[in-house]
Amino acid sequence: MSSPVPSSSTKDRILDIAVPLFASAGFDGVSMRAIAAAVGIQAASLYNHFPDKQALYLGAMAHVFADKARGIGETARGPGPPEERLHRFIDRFTALMAEDPDFRRLLQRELLDGDENRLRLVAEQVFREPFEAISALARDLDPGCDPHMLAISMAGLVLFHFETGPIRRFLPGVRVEQDSPSVIADHVKRLLSRALARA
Whether the CB-CB separation of 181 and 86 falls below 8 Å is answered with: no
Q: Which domain holds residue 189?
A: 64-198
pLDDT at residue 4 in the model: 42
Residue 151 falls inside a structural domain: yes
Give the domain CATH number at 106. 1.10.357.10
CA-CA distance, 162 to 101, in Å (whole number)? 9
Kindly state whether residue 16 falls inside one of the protein's structural domains: no
Query: CA-to-CA distance for 119 and 113, rounded, in angstroms?
Result: 9
- Pick from 84, 186, 89, 199: nearest CA to 135: 89
- Kindly state the DSSP code that residue 1 receives in the 8-state scheme: -
Please check the confidence at residue 7 and state whether its pLDDT lies above 70.
no
pLDDT of residue 6: 46
Residue 57 lies in a domain: no
pLDDT the model gives residue 107: 85
The pLDDT, as a whole number, for residue 61 is 86
| The pLDDT value given to residue 3 | 40
Please compute the mean of the pLDDT values over residues 109-138 and round it to a whole number.
88
DSSP state of 2: P
Q: What is the pLDDT of residue 144?
A: 93
Tell me if 52 is assigned to some domain.
no
The number of distinct structural domains making up the chain is 1
> Per-residue confidence at 69, pLDDT binned at 50, 70, 90?
confident
CA–CA separation, 56 and 167 (whole Å)? 32
